[in-house]
């Protein structure tokens, strides 16, 4: 494994990252950065990671994990629980997969997707990885490739109760915001105080 990748995936929280070799075909355009990323003698003590290397590595990673070998690598990591479990109580520690909320770099950090409740959460380990390293489609492509791994949706659901009685829907609704109060807030602020 090239030294930079070894260093990068060894950082805290990077257990999310696939450590395997990537198919670099088509990325020769990024030759200079690739030379840094794939530099076999990369020295962590003089590391100058501009962020561009990370982005390039992330793009390669996002493409790799949807390849045949990548899906297999991610399956091993999923089954080992590398991506953590769903924090939702009724999901009973269902294992999760990493997902991005955007395919564009720099929009948000990686989230975890629970295939049982089909919702997304902040990972407990809070890895500072860009969500684009995994992309918005990854978990869905993963279960299309491996449908036998798809879990059942949760059977139980939380029911709000008061002294044992189920709360009426109307008691759970937030207070309706009044237009008058919004106008009041607006009128007390000078328009120049808002950035353009």
Which lies closer to Zn ion via its Cβ, residue 106 or residue 153? Answer: 153
**Rule CB under 5 A: is residue 117 a binding residue for Zn ion?**
yes
Which one among 54, 59, 116, 139 touches Zn ion, defined by CB under 5 A? 116
Q: Mask of contacts with Zn ion, 11-50, x by CB under 5 A?
A: ----------------------------------------
If binding means CB under 5 A, how many residues of this protein chain bind Zn ion? Answer: 6
Which one among 18, 56, 71, 86 touches Zn ion, defined by CB under 5 A? 86
Q: 109: which 2 tokens? A: 């950090």
Q: 27: which 2 tokens? A: 């990325």
130 C-beta neighbours (distance < 10 Å), count: 23
Which lies closer to Zn ion via its Cβ, residue 38 or residue 86? Answer: 86
**Rule CB under 5 A: is residue 101 a binding residue for Zn ion?**
no
Classify residue 150 by its DSSP letter.
P
Rounded Cα distance, 155 and 147, in Å: 20
Which lies closer to Zn ion via its Cβ, residue 157 or residue 173? Answer: 157
CA distances in angstroms from 195 to 32, 144, 168, listed in the order given: 39, 45, 43
Q: Which residues contact 73 (CB under 8 A, 6 or more apart)?
A: 18, 20, 65
Cβ(130)–Cβ(55) below 8 Å: yes
**Rule CB under 5 A: is residue 55 a binding residue for Zn ion?**
no
Residues in the chain: 196
Which one among 5, 17, 37, 91 touches Zn ion, defined by CB under 5 A? 91
Which one among 36, 114, 129, 133 touches Zn ion, defined by CB under 5 A? 114
Which lies closer to Zn ion via its Cβ, residue 84 or residue 100? Answer: 84
Rounded Cα distance, 57 and 82, in Å: 20
- Interface with Zn ion by CB under 5 A: which range of 37-45, 50-58, 88-96, 123-131? 88-96
Nearest to 62 by CA among 95, 102, 34: 102
- Residues in contact with Zn ion by CB under 5 A are 86, 88, 91, 114, 116-117
């Amino acid at each position: 494994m090239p030294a930079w990748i070894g260093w990068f995936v060894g950082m805290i929280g990077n257990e999310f990252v696939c450590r395997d070799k990537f198919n670099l075909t088509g990325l020769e355009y990024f030759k200079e950065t690739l030379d840094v990323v794939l530099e076999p003698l990369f020295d962590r003590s003089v590391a100058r990671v501009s962020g561009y290397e990370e982005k390039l590595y992330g793009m390669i990673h996002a493409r790799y994990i949807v390849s045949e070998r990548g899906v297999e690598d991610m399956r091993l990591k999923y089954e080992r629980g590398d991506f953590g479990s769903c924090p939702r109580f009724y999901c009973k520690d269902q294992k999760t997969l990493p997902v991005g909320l955007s395919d564009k770099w720099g929009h948000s950090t990686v989230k975890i997707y629970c295939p049982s409740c089909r919702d997304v959460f902040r990972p407990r380990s809070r890895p500072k990885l860009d969500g684009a390293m995994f992309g918005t489609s990854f978990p869905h492509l993963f279960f299309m490739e491996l449908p036998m791994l798809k879990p059942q949706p949760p059977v139980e659901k939380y029911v709000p109760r008061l002294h044992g009685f189920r709360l009426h829907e109307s008691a759970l609704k937030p207070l309706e915001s009044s237009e008058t109060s919004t106008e009041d807030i607006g009128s007390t602020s000078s328009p120049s105080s808002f950035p353009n």
